[in-house]
Amino acid sequence: MDVWVLPPSTGRKGRLRLTKLKVYGGEIFFKGNQERVVVAAHSQKEVARITGESLYYVRGYWCETGNPTEIEKASAAPGELVRMNPGKNI
């Protein structure tokens, strides 16, 4: 399922452009446990801002996912972290 939305900024010369959201997945620590999370964002830079991690960390340890379940869940809430196993090990 492709989701097209306006990015938070405009393109060059003030023109608005549509960009495709990508779904990135990675691991974070939540309450002392490592958890799989996904986020729908326009870029790795935006993922870094949302997660609070450095861009270096996101580029090294996060990737664009192809898992249909992860894509569906993250696309339903663009710009928000989505925990894939909520409640597990908590």
pLDDT in tens, 11-65: 555 555 567 889 999 998 878 888 899 999 999 999 999 999 999 999 999 999 9
Q: Please give the pLDDT value at position 90.
A: 41
9 lies in some domain = no
User: How many domains does the chain contain in total?
Assistant: 1
> Does position 9 have pLDDT exceeding 70, yes or no?
no
- The residue range of the domain holding 75 is 18-83
| β 82-83/33-41 pair status | antiparallel
Task: Count CB neighbours of 59 within 10 A.
Answer: 14
22 lies in some domain = yes
90 lies in some domain = no
89 lies in some domain = no
Torsion angle in degrees (nearest 10) through CA of 82, 84, 85, 89: -70
Q: Please give the pLDDT value at position 8.
A: 55
| β 19-20/4-5 pair status | antiparallel
Q: Please give the pLDDT value at position 20.
A: 84
CA atoms within 13 A on the CB side of 16: 6
79 lies in some domain = yes
Alpha-carbon distance of 55 to 72, in angstroms, equals: 24
